[in-house]
Chains A and B, each alone.
Chain A
Amino acid sequence: MNTQDSSFQTDALIAEDIDAYLDQHQHKSLLRFITCGSVDDGKSTLIGRLLYDSKMIFEDQLTALESDSKKVGTQGDEIDFALLVDGLAAEREQGITIDVAYRFFTTEKRKFIVADTPGHEQYTRNMVTGASTADLAVILVDARKGVLEQTRRHSFLVHLLGIKHLVLAVNKMDLVDYNQARFEEILADYSQFAEQIGIEGFTAIPISGFKGDNITAAPSANTPWYNGPSLIQHLETVELANTAAQERSFRMPVQWVNRPNLDFRGFTGLIASGTIKPGDKVRIVPAGKTSTVKSILTFDGELDEAVAGQSVTITLADEVDCSRGDVIAAADNPPEASDQFETTLVWMDEAALKPGRAYWLKIGSQMVSATIAEPKYEICINRFEHLAAKTLELNGIGVAELRTDRPITFESYETSRALGGFILIDKFTNATVGAGMLHFSLRRAQNVHWQPTTITRDDHSGLKNQRPRVLWFTGLSGSGKSTIANEVEKRLALMNRHTFLLDGDNVRHGLNKDLGFTEADRIENIRRIGEVAKLMTDAGLIVMTAFISPFRAERQMVREMMPEGEFIEIFVDTPLEVAEQRDVKGLYKKARDGELKNFTGIDSPYEAPENPEIRVNTVEMTIEEAADHIIAAILPLK
């Protein structure tokens, strides 16, 4: 195997017969991989070497590289390949996020996309991002140092993200005199660890990124004892995830429905798994309707077959309801739907996870509202221990239950990245705050069904001759919420309306007496009140709630529980100085004296409503005027 035949392009063929060369290169496949390791492990040198060997570096760049190598390189007069990828100091100073860089090179057989993630403090978030699209991971180890804590951490993360192909590249073999015993010692060490965390297999290759040993051809003259493939040979032949996905059942999340005219309705999407042919029976999930594939349409004509990894447009034989968010699946083996799951979460935002808060969850083409329970545990990625946790901070990884506001179609992440991987989005900052992997649905969701009742919501409200609503009073402690709500309820009673006032302090005496005043407890407090208010509106009542409810996200969560137009947010807009001066219950004084923690306005924030339905100003209005104003705004009551 020791032919130095390059896997890389041959100038001779390009010069002699460009047509033959192009024909050959139009049939290459694509492999995405990630490299893990710190600068010291020689990661940049290795990537630089791959770019260099694949002629992705031109003469002008090489001239610059040679002169830089002499000036600032660490390899004496020889070329310092690391400068090709590390020459980014200026960028760092400019403050561009250094997280994941994507680089490209190509050989005779494959094109490669390399996700390169620096091993600094943000490595978890970055590595998870880079690993999410990779088929393979190259874990670099310095032959002199062996398996380090960092090696284990990186391996754990790529394994967590479901990467099936692992390469243990034992680098800098030149610095240990290409010693076989040293290589085997590292191999044994790593095998033991790999087994411990459930890695099923890996390929170990002794290399020198700097000298080029076992990079393109193997064995190198320096390692006659090695009888495996070179790094490139391995990368060129490893099975692609995309090919493996074709063997599973057909699934295509519907991205967009193409309706250019009344005669055509095509369902577009990227096929997640399986293959499809005209005439195949399919099921639209979650609805469950079946139909038959009429055609697979592309710009280049109709296809006889389409496979995982292709973006296509499918037409069906029947007029079935199907839109973005639905999944078209093999009729005999469709995926399940559920609304409660066990998940592993990776937190990616400066602001920690807030258990109970509603986030947007995007999975495939589905976007739903989701809440996450307090983590069952956090995983310490240095020692793989399970730690007790109330939340997850930036770069934290944990296992937690997750609930969506409606059932979503899914497969376990272990089966399908496309239907098991999700991102979480903050509803106010719109930032991507986390990513996660669904493991399985919790049985209780499947077995608890909504009990249909004969007397409906409309019957209840019809009997009471009113339209149910929630008048949600929000504002600082002492702003006048309870007083005004009480006044409004008195007037509604005089108008023969059926009402109920849920007051903050009263609810905390009973339903919510197990809750404290931490952020997580406050969120849960509001969630329960929202659910109670919703049941009361189902009973036909006009509900008034008087709670500080300081966070926009939770008020929004309650708003989304209610039918459109039934949630009326009333902002009792009293400045902090005024509320503090009133201090009816003496709470502000206690908070200022430090006796009361997490007090809204003092050491816990109040997020004022941006567009409340009603705003009352208690400095300019009397209680009666405020109540009048609210009643006028909610008329008619029926």
Chain B
Amino acid sequence: MKSLTHLERLEAESIHIFREVVAETEKPVMLYSVGKDSSVMLHLARKAFYPAPPPFPMLHVASGWDFQALLDHRDKTVKEYDLDLIVAENEHAEEQGINPFDTGSALYSQAQLTDPLKAALTKHGFDAAFGGGRRDEEKARAKERVFSFRTASHRWDPKNQRPELWNLYNTKKADDESIRVFPISNWTELDIWQYIALEKIDIVPLYMSQKRPTVERDGMLLVVDDDRFRLEPGEEPVERSVRFRTLGCYPLTGATESNATDMNLIIQEMLLATGSERKGRAIDKGQSASMEDKKQEGYF
């Protein structure tokens, strides 16, 4: 008799979902944002198909304002695991005058993230896309299905969700429809961090505290990641020990001051934190709200 731990059960469920999609759909893809949830998903996908590599490509939607460390980590990971990477981006951002400083947040995320994603899905004819959404992220998410269907124009009909019983997933769909699949639906933020620690999953160093050049703006700490960052009059970058709880476009993502330099310290900080994952975002109204949220609204 062997008692499986909660992480073993969650892992088995996610692997089952990955295999079900590969067995029943024609052309799946994994949305790879390079963040912590994506890193866990990639690890699970590698487990699901071992000794074969994951039999689908990774799709990264690059906004043009990603942290350099994130892009470096992406390229390193792709090389190390011999993955097939597709990068989707809005190639016309500059001529359209779109940037995170002047463009409204809704339009910005639409033009830089949502539209390039949809275009890439259509162009390659993917009929299933894995995403890293978790049900514990917010109340509305709690009722998201593991398999979520989209029309030919990638629209979602929330009134018409299919009931999901046992571990039986209905993958039948019309030829022009596609499926968004969330293999880590039942994981919580704590599960994700515990699993990263336990499995020694390599994640972007931005999650660990380090001295970084920062400016304080609207109550948020922003990291000056490159010289495109537009300093306002009187602003002077200051070195602070900071890390990130979520990753988005660098001019829009708030850092937190921290001394957590390893995984266990990050988890400790999270467990003792008095603010939720979204606290930083709650005070950031509209324009400066974290991009991870927007990505997900746009994506899913």
Residues of chain A lying within 8 A (CB to CB) of residue B11: 311
Residues of chain A lying within 8 A (CB to CB) of residue B48: 268, 311
Residue of B nearest to A161 (CB): B165
Residues of chain A lying within 8 A (CB to CB) of residue B7: 26
Residues of chain B lying within 8 A (CB to CB) of residue A129: 163-165
User: Which of A87-95, A168-176, A380-388, A525-533 sits within the interface?
Assistant: A87-95
Residues of chain A lying within 8 A (CB to CB) of residue B4: 29-30, 242, 307, 309-310
Contact partner, B166, options A58, A260, A417, Cβ 8 Å: A417
Residue of B nearest to A275 (CB): B2
Contacts A88-B139, A310-B4 given: A423-B49 contact, CB under 8 Å?
Answer: no
Contacts A22-B197, A421-B168, A430-B172 given: A365-B1 contact, CB under 8 Å?
Answer: no
Distance from A247 Cβ to chain B, minimum over Cβ atoms (Å): 8
Residue of B nearest to A323 (CB): B23
Contacts A94-B158, A298-B50 given: A360-B172 contact, CB under 8 Å?
Answer: yes
Contact partner, B276, options A58, A99, A101, A313, Cβ 8 Å: A58
Residue of A nearest to B280 (CB): A60
Contact present for A59 and B274 (CB under 8 Å): yes
Does B153 make an interface contact (CB < 8 A)?
A: no
Number of A-B contacts (CB under 8 A): 202
Contacts A58-B276, A87-B139, A260-B52 given: A22-B267 contact, CB under 8 Å?
Answer: yes
Residue of B nearest to A306 (CB): B2
Q: How far is the CA of A275 from the CA of B190 in the complex (A)?
A: 30
Does B47 make an interface contact (CB < 8 A)?
A: yes
Residues of chain A lying within 8 A (CB to CB) of residue B167: 133, 270, 418
Does B142 make an interface contact (CB < 8 A)?
A: yes
Residue of B nearest to A97 (CB): B161
Residues of chain B lying within 8 A (CB to CB) of residue A284: none
Residues of chain A lying within 8 A (CB to CB) of residue B166: 132-133, 417-418, 421, 423
Cβ proximity bits B1-15 to A, threshold 8 Å, 1 near / 0 not: 111111111111101
Contact partner, B168, options A28, A58, A88, A362, Cβ 8 Å: A362
Q: How far is the CA of A88 from the CA of B142 in the complex (A)?
A: 11
Contact present for A18 and B23 (CB under 8 Å): no
Residue of B nearest to A94 (CB): B158
Does A638 make an interface contact (CB < 8 A)?
A: no
Contact present for A58 and B143 (CB under 8 Å): no
Does A422 make an interface contact (CB < 8 A)?
A: yes
Contact present for B19 and A255 (CB under 8 Å): yes
Distance from B219 Cβ to chain A, minimum over Cβ atoms (Å): 13
- For chain A, the bracket of interface size reads 35 or more
Contact present for B6 and A111 (CB under 8 Å): yes
Residues of chain B lying within 8 A (CB to CB) of residue A96: 140, 143, 158-159
Contact present for B186 and A97 (CB under 8 Å): no
Q: How far is the CA of A266 from the CA of B51 in the complex (A)?
A: 9
Does A542 make an interface contact (CB < 8 A)?
A: no
Cβ proximity bits A183-214 to B, threshold 8 Å, 1 near / 0 not: 00000000000000000000000000000000
Contact partner, A102, options B143, B158, B162, B273, Cβ 8 Å: B143
Does A6 make an interface contact (CB < 8 A)?
A: no
Contact present for A432 and B170 (CB under 8 Å): yes
Residues of chain A lying within 8 A (CB to CB) of residue B47: 298-300
Q: How far is the CA of A266 from the CA of B143 in the complex (A)?
A: 35
Q: How far is the CA of A85 from the CA of B139 in the complex (A)?
A: 8
Q: A-contacting residues of B (Cβ < 8 Å)?
A: 1-13, 15-16, 19-20, 22-23, 46-53, 135-136, 139-140, 142-143, 158-168, 170, 172-174, 185-186, 188, 190-191, 194, 197-198, 264-265, 267-268, 271-276, 279, 282
Q: Can you list 26 A-B pairs with a CB-CB distance of less than 8 A?
A: A21-B268, A26-B198, A29-B3, A30-B10, A58-B275, A102-B186, A104-B135, A111-B6, A128-B163, A129-B165, A133-B166, A255-B16, A255-B20, A258-B52, A266-B51, A268-B48, A297-B50, A298-B47, A299-B47, A307-B2, A307-B4, A309-B12, A311-B48, A363-B168, A423-B168, A432-B170
Given A58-B273, A421-B165, A435-B163, 13 new contacts (CB under 8 A) = A22-B194, A22-B197, A30-B5, A59-B275, A103-B142, A258-B51, A264-B51, A298-B50, A300-B47, A363-B168, A365-B20, A418-B166, A423-B170
Q: Which 9 A-B pairs have the closest CB atoms?
A: A260-B52, A59-B274, A311-B15, A30-B6, A58-B276, A111-B6, A18-B268, A101-B142, A132-B165
